[in-house]
């Protein structure tokens, strides 16, 4: 199976599917459409005759079950890769029996993955791993997930003796720019619940994530010649600094972990005349999340009161919510993969996701969707890697879930 996984993954990462946050079409890049069409043809060759792709490049297909009275479940991954660094002309390299030491990705450019910076790599000693040449990302996020799903589908198609119900397959565009589930047709998909295969290291089984909001702060200053500025100039940049300093220093991404939320100043630009700040607000607890949004408005009001023209305008919009609200009441959705993990000697890690996932939006759209590991890490950059050994375990988990669902008593 490892050879098939390797072959498939190396083929998939050659597709340039970088998402474009500045293009509001869906998909945001043509490469995602090309990849979606390729996957549909591959699914049809595997016997999934209903495999199809819509105009927005959402791929859907059904692996018909061989057991009646079983919940229809789904497995979902995303087509796109992050825009943080190019996904074009990816040159992957397979390292057999990795020695657990520093990896020279590109000797000429002196790009090296140091174990001291990424100590989790030492746990992959003896694995076959795939890395980049240090000039692009790898695309494991989430072509590893697609590889695992497709390999599991191929196995189940070739082994009709393995009992399973109907299994829905879904691949979405533009997850990396927060739009992956926007046009996902839950009713058409037809699963009772699903699993995104979009996690990191072995054992991840995630069903909690941040509540998330975005905030755009616009500041209108007043620019006059600095030589005659006294009591006239209002420097929008200084107000921006005052706003930033008003948030607790211990509630930033770099000072928080686990269940701790944060305010993150993601972008700031401007001049004396006007400035813009972009914040993201995150918290796992809904009450704390609402209080964080409220604090931002209080900061606005506390500063505005000192000016006649109320220079600060704030637009806050919710982005997604903690999927635990929808999943925790349905205990069996987590118990099923936990039993599979136990059978495969995989230790489950149910730490909350310090970010978002298609599964969050899908859960609130009526499709409860936890997240499962792929065996990859260092996403969105040149140090990205994939463990073929752990990807194989992800395939085994998918197959195991399909089987375990037939044992679930409704």
Alpha helices per DSSP H over 121-208: 140-158, 186-189
Strand duo 371-372 + 205-206: pairing: antiparallel
Among candidates 276, 284, 298, 279, which has minimal Cα distance to 256? 284
Residue with tokens 């119900």, as numbered in its chain: 165
Catalytic residue among 174, 175, 206, 392: 175
**174 a catalytic residue:** no
Catalytic residue among 16, 42, 80, 251: 80
**260 a catalytic residue:** no
User: Is residue 388 a contact partner of residue 127, using CB atoms and an 8 Å limit?
Assistant: yes
C-alpha distance from residue 399 to each of 56, 157, 276, 321, 356 (Å):
29, 11, 49, 29, 25
Q: Phi and psi (nearest 5°) for 222? A: -145, 115
DSSP conformation class of 81:
B
C-alpha distance from residue 155 to each of 13, 72, 149, 186, 346 (Å):
21, 18, 10, 26, 21
CA distance 360 to 175: 12
Annotated catalytic residues are 80, 175
């Amino acid at each position: 199976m490892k050879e098939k996984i390797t072959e498939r993954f190396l083929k998939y990462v050659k597709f340039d599917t970088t998402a474009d946050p500045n293009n509001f079409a869906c998909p945001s890049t043509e490469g995602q459409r090309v990849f979606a069409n390729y996957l549909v043809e591959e699914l049809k060759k595997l016997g999934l005759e209903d495999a199809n792709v819509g105009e927005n490049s959402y791929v859907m297909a059904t692996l018909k079950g061989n057991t009646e009275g079983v919940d229809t479940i789904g497995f979902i991954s995303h087509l796109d890769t992050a825009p943080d660094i190019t996904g074009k002309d990816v040159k992957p390299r397979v390292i057999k029996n990795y020695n657990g030491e520093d990896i020279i990705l590109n000797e000429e450019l002196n790009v090296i993955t140091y174990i001291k910076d990424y100590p989790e790599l030492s746990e992959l000693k003896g694995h076959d791993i795939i890395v980049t040449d240090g000039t692009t990302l790898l695309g494991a996020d989430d072509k590893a997930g697609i590889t695992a799903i497709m390999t599991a589908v191929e196995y189940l198609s070739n082994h009709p003796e393995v009992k399973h119900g109907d299994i829905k397959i879904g691949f979405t565009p533009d997850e990396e720019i927060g739009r992956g589930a926007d046009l996902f047709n839950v009713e058409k998909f037809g699963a009772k619940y699903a699993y995104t295969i979009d996690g990191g290291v072995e054992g991840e089984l995630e069903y909690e994530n941040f509540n998330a909001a975005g905030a755009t702060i616009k500041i209108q200053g007043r620019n006059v010649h600095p030589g005659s500025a006294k009591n006239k100039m209002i420097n929008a940049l200084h107000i921006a600094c005052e706003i930033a300093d008003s948030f607790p220093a211990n509630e930033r991404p770099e000072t928080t972990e686990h269940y701790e939320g944060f305010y993150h100043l993601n972008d700031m630009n401007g001049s004396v005349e006007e400035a813009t700040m972009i914040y993201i607000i995150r918290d796992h607890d809904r009450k704390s999340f609402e209080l964080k949004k409220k604090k931002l408005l209080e900061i606005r009001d506390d500063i505005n009161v000192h000016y006649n023209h109320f220079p600060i305008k704030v637009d806050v919009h919710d982005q997604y919510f903690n999927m635990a609200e929808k999943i925790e009441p349905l205990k069996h959705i987590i118990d099923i993969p936990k039993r599979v993990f136990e059978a495969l000697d995989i230790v489950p890690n149910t730490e909350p996701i310090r970010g978002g996932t298609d599964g969050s939006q899908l859960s609130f759209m009526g499709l409860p969707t936890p997240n499962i590991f792929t065996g990859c890490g260092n996403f969105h950059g040149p140090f990205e890697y994939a463990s073929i050994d752990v990807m194989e375990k992800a395939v085994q988990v998918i197959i195991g879930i399909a089987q375990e669902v037939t044992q679930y008593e409704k």
